Amino acid sequence: MTAKKNPYTLVFGKEPSQLISRISQERDVIENFTSDDPSWQLYMITGVRGMGKTVFMTDIASKLKKEKDWIVVELNPEKDLLESLASKLSSNNALAQIFKTAKINLSFFGFGMEISGVAPITNIESALSKMIESLKKHGKKLLITIDEVTNTKDMRVFCSTYQILVRENLPVFLLMTGLYDNIYELQNVKTLTFLYRAPKIILGPLNIGTIAANYRQNFDIDNPTSLKMAQTTRGYSFAFQVLGYLTWKYDGNFKNALPEYKQYLEEYVYEKIWSEMSPKDKYVAYGIVQADSSKISDIRKLLNMTTNEFNPYRQRLIQKGVVDGSEHGRLTFTLPLFEEFISENYIPEM
């Protein structure tokens, strides 16, 4: 086994060779985008760190990229998004010829070809509108992907321009990933209310049975063992990769991998998640760990909080993807071994 290449990965955002697709959610996005009259041209993908947001977006982009009429452009949120988009489109030789035929002179921005007798366009929004209009005339559709969005000036300007392009009935589609807090902050900008109405895909756990089947495929283990491995991940995408990677390292013995598995989760993800939680979030999370049961009534009693005091923090932890509140009246953690991490790291206020 060890002579072969480990099929699992510890690298965040990289599409792994062992990929468990979220078939239903991917199909919904692709069918909507490719329909003659799409209901939405934008999806915002969110979830807790390590839940597979980037991989989910990349998988959709890869499928659409294979379609002959689709152009896929990935943008870096740390750069000027509008100029980056225009630059990437104009650097494609086939598209550059379309823009030249349409007499779109982009030389003012330092890219594109100088077109004799045609004045350069000096407004980037106008340039993009003309470029995408020319793509539309050639039956092309444009998908833009942006990973880990935050509420920056460049992002706000880009989203405002994107809204204009959609209103112009142009075939421009957008996928964005981000942590809940970052997306919430961006969509609540007064001039970007359309983002608040846009559909959000909240990535939850992977299917436990599918994870178990994957482990059986890659390791010489029986059904109960593969199911135990899958349950140990709680369907958490990064945990699925880490446990598979380390089990491979330990020649198929997942129990020997557990101490290192715990350390990887804590150092790669949990310490960062914990650092981003407010003191009151941590207090409530600690209460969930220490309560006699997962019942909200028991948790509130332990924390000495009223329903009105408790509910905002309950909702925040659910929206962040840390806590599962799908079972009425109960709260449980979505992340494997997170209870142990909290017990070891929470310092009660004196």
Between these two residues, 21 and 143, which has the higher pLDDT value?
143
Please say if the pLDDT value at position 193 is more than 90: no
For 49-102, the pLDDT digits (tens) are 999 999 999 999 999 999 999 999 999 999 999 999 999 999 998 999 999 888
For residue 20, pLDDT beyond 80: no
The CATH code of the domain at 23-202 is 3.40.50.300
Annotated domain spans of the chain? 23-202, 210-274, 277-345
pLDDT digits (tens, 9 = 90+) for 286-314: 999 999 999 999 999 999 999 999 999 99
Q: Are 284 and 342 in contact (CB under 8 A)?
A: no
pLDDT averaged over the chain?
92
The dotted CATH code for 277-345 is 1.10.10.10
Residue-wise pLDDT tens digits, 202-242: 998 999 999 999 999 999 999 999 999 999 999 999 999 99
**Contacts by 324-333 with C-beta closer than 8 Å and gap 24+?**
327/294, 329/295, 329/296, 329/297, 330/293, 330/294, 330/295, 330/296, 331/288, 331/294, 331/296, 331/299, 332/288, 332/294, 333/285, 333/288
Per-residue confidence (pLDDT) for residue 334, from 0 to 100: 96
Q: Are the CB atoms for 286 and 278 separated by under 8 Å?
A: no
pTM of the model: 0.89
Q: Is the pLDDT of residue 315 over 80?
A: yes
